Structure 1
Amino acid sequence: MLPVQDYIDHFKEMWAQSPETFPEFPKTFPKEDKLRHEQNFDRFQKKLKELQNVAKVQQLRNDPAKTFFPMFKSFLQTVFDFEAGHLEIILSDEFKDVSKDFFYRARAFGPELKPEDIYQGMRNVWIMNGLQLMAEKPVKITPSVFAYSMIYPYSDNLLDDPGIRNDQKQAFSERFDRRLHGLPEKPVNHTEKQLFRLITMFEEEFPRIEFPNVYESLYAIQQGQTNSLKMIADNGLSDDEICTICFEKGGASVLADGYLVAGELTREEEQALFGYGVYLQLLDDIQDVREDSLAFTKTIFSCLPENDLGRFVNKTIHFGRMALEEMRCFKGVNGDDFLGLMNRSIETMIVESVGLNHTWFSKNYLNEIEKVSPLHFSYLRKKRTQSKSQRFALFQKYFESAKSKIEAD
């Protein structure tokens, strides 16, 4: 058994010790900088629209390295102010190739999936690619990287669907849990059939007898998902119980990422990955505070009074900085670029989420945190109304031609 409860306790203590004061940031963006970034953003969107031209789409398909990636690099530099060392990591040839490879495989495996479903899985691929770098493993789509990332668009969407009754979700979780434990289980629908195929991919790469902790990590994430069902509606959970469930779900998810990348981990590596997962879960809770509240789903953030949310965002940032320091136990984390990229990316999304969920924060807090945003919050909200997800829009544009090619074949 993995010591999941020990990790929960460790990071609950870290959370309790994390201050609620406004964090220090390395850089602020005055109005003139924001306006320049916004102009660059608009120019980038204009270039994306030009790619709808048939000739441009063909050019993108034939040579994305010359068409899309230089443009995307410029976007990250001139809009979000990413550093050169960070861009060398996320725009390396390895990362470019695996993104394209995952899309092709995902379309072949699940042609019924929407592009946004594949993008959801892609986000986990990028996390696992980062873990491959840290563990000094080749950056590629292994069977387990593919399978675990595909589980997200299937199982998470089912469990998060408010239109599916809680007892139906519970029954699904029980069947999935039995199959995950290697027991024979007959799928009752297409979603379960696909999920059981993905579990077979784990078993082929990591035989159960040789890699028991791989499956212990999968049992842990399944237990976390099952416990998270308790957070739906008013069920009398205390704040401490809500915190425990949130930490278990997030921490176990990335712990499973690590085992499906490396097969074996040290206790120190397990704990570090668990903390990284908790941090990502807190980010998700901030991003989804409005949706969780409307769906009566309890999280650390959605059940707080409005005037408390700023303090908890501060606390999350302080917590994340401490938690990510534990990632230095991995051999592949040699300098500050990798951890700097991780933290910069997450904090950028946290700040953006505050701006997009502005009604949940005090005016004073919004004024203060907007200073560290490369874009005005009003601009972010305008862009969000134009496109549900700017990141997804980039992904969709890049792979539109690939989708057409697959379907033509």
Structure 2
Amino acid sequence: MGDIHLQYYYDLFREKWWVSSNTFKLNIDKISYFQKKKREKELDKLIDTVVNHIKSFPKSEVEKKQWKSKGDKFLRELMKKDKLFKLENFDEDLKERFFKSTENFIKASREFDKKLNLEDIGQAMRNVWIINILQAVMGEEVSLTKAIFGYSMLYPYTDNYLDDIYIGSSEKNKFNNRLQERLKGENISYNNNHEAQVYKLVENIEEVFPRREYPKVYESLLQINNGQIRSLEQQEEVTIPYDKDILGISILKGGSSVLVDGYLVRGEMTPEEIEFCMGYGFLLQLGDDLQDVKEDLKNNHITLMSQLAGKYCLDTISNKLINFTMDLVDNLQCKNKDNEVRLKELIKNNCIMLILFSIGLSKEYFSKEYVKTIEGYLPFTIDYLENLKPKITKKLQEIKDEQGISGERLMYILDEVVSLG
């Protein structure tokens, strides 16, 4: 698999997955019913505060700056007090760097493409946060670079295109093959505006990491593209377990995605850093597959989770994923010794909460006893989680109805937020 020797890590994580325990042994604090209801009230209050802040968007330039300053102060205070993902434990400088990276990314994404919706921006921003975490783990300064922006933005431009059920496999394969040539450094002319944007994002990476000096950056990019190509096999037809190597595809696609993240920190990695990035990406891929199990079943997209869902309870495979996650993070070696414990806790909480929330929102694929056990560790009740997205959607609709604000107007407000100050 090239100079990075991915075959070694590919085999390693296949073995680690099979030997991971499938017994439930989650080692985090339980949250009482009283604590859950208290947190639900706090989140409801937070949602109302954000909604009211959007409603109060002013017209004058002076008031806009004051409005943005108030919003920034509110978000910073929120990060300081965050208990769900343990951000409250980090020093002020590191929290500020995470905040500035997020702010800079939103601004850059809107400048790059004003047609992007909030969901697309959020999808790309999630990858920025992963790289920011890796920067902290590797002892580097947490910041947004042009290369990080370019690669993170490729997610909504490639993943969403390949997941679109209205685009045929032939077109998707042509797109992937042309992108592969571009990633190899070939001077490929674009066929349409979508390809033009994708190739521009690749240019952003090239400006920071010249090809001759950092060949592994581009080798890792080719690996994620190979993973994307292979993942199309998951869309072609409904398969039974062992008919296709779905586990191998998950390791390759998920592992190589965060492998690129790691190389974009400083262009090189140690074997230990490569191993962690591959494992981190793999577990995030399975977490996403668990989160998307309903949609994948609906669209006949085959993953480790959707192959089993509805036929067997997903209790055991979820235990396996939880234990794999805990083991990987516990064995992580941080260069940032001052924040090592806090960074491990941050990564672990992010990953475990992704898994637990996904279980709570797909409870029909688990045993009732298992769901009841899992709910004990969730920060909110499952009933609250199930109604959270509809509640936020309703609140946003109320803004539109009361203020006469369209979806475009909300994006305009976002543009104003990131362009001031």
TM-score (norm 1): 0.91
User: In structure 2, what is the equivalent of residue 54 of structure 1?
Assistant: 57
User: In structure 1, what is the equivalent of residue 343 of structure 2?
Assistant: 338
Pairwise mapping of residues 54-203 of structure 1 onto structure 2 (< 5 A)?
54=57, 59-71=66-78, 73-74=80-81, 76-77=82-83, 80=84, 82=86, 84-85=88-89, 88=91, 92-203=95-206
Contact 2:86 2:345 in 1 (8 A): no
Identify the range of structure 1 (29-38 vs 174-183) with the bigger mean alpha-carbon deviation: 29-38
Are 2:269 and 1:265 equivalent residues in the alignment? yes
Contact 1:309 1:360 in 2 (8 A): yes
CA gap of 1:236–1:375, structure 2 versus 1, over 3 A, is closer
User: In structure 2, what is the equivalent of residue 372 of structure 1?
Assistant: 377
Matched to 1:331, the amino acid is K
Unaligned runs of 5+ in 1: 391-395
Structure 1 residue 333: deviation in Å?
Answer: 5.0
Q: How far apart in 2 are the matches of 1:321 and 1:398?
A: 39
Report the count of equivalent residues: 398
CA gap of 1:402–1:42, structure 2 versus 1, over 3 A, is closer
Unaligned runs of 5+ in 2: 396-407
Q: How far apart in 1 are the matches of 2:132 and 2:190?
A: 30
Matched to 1:164, the amino acid is I
User: In structure 1, what is the equivalent of residue 303 of structure 2?
Assistant: 299
CA gap of 1:45–1:387, structure 2 versus 1, over 3 A, is closer
Contact 1:25 1:372 in 2 (8 A): no
Q: How far apart in 2 are the matches of 1:181 and 1:374?
A: 46
User: In structure 2, what is the equivalent of residue 32 of structure 1?
Assistant: 34
Structure 1 residue 311: deviation in Å?
Answer: 0.9
CA gap of 1:154–1:358, structure 2 versus 1, over 3 A, is same
Matched to 2:372, the amino acid is N
User: In structure 2, what is the equivalent of residue 217 of structure 1?
Assistant: 220
Q: How far apart in 2 are the matches of 1:170 and 1:6?
A: 27
Q: How far apart in 2 are the matches of 1:90 and 1:21?
A: 40
Contact 1:279 1:323 in 2 (8 A): no
Moved over 6 A (4+): 396-400
Q: How far apart in 2 are the matches of 1:241 and 1:297?
A: 14
SS at match of 1:232: helix
Structure 1 residue 236: deviation in Å?
Answer: 4.4
Q: How far apart in 2 are the matches of 1:119 and 1:217?
A: 23
Structure 1 residue 252: deviation in Å?
Answer: 0.2
Q: How far apart in 2 are the matches of 1:397 and 1:39?
A: 29
SS at match of 1:271: helix
Q: How far apart in 2 are the matches of 1:177 and 1:104?
A: 29
CA gap of 1:168–1:398, structure 2 versus 1, over 3 A, is closer
SS at match of 1:331: coil
What's the C-alpha RMSD, in Å, of the aligned pairs? 2.6
Are 2:264 and 1:256 equivalent residues in the alignment? no
Cα shift readout 1:257-312 (whole Å, capped 9, x = no counterpart): 11111101112211111011111111101100101111101101011043331111
Structure 1 residue 83: deviation in Å?
Answer: 6.7
Contact 1:122 1:149 in 2 (8 A): yes
Structure 2 residue corresponding to 1:387, chosen from 392, 400, 403: 392
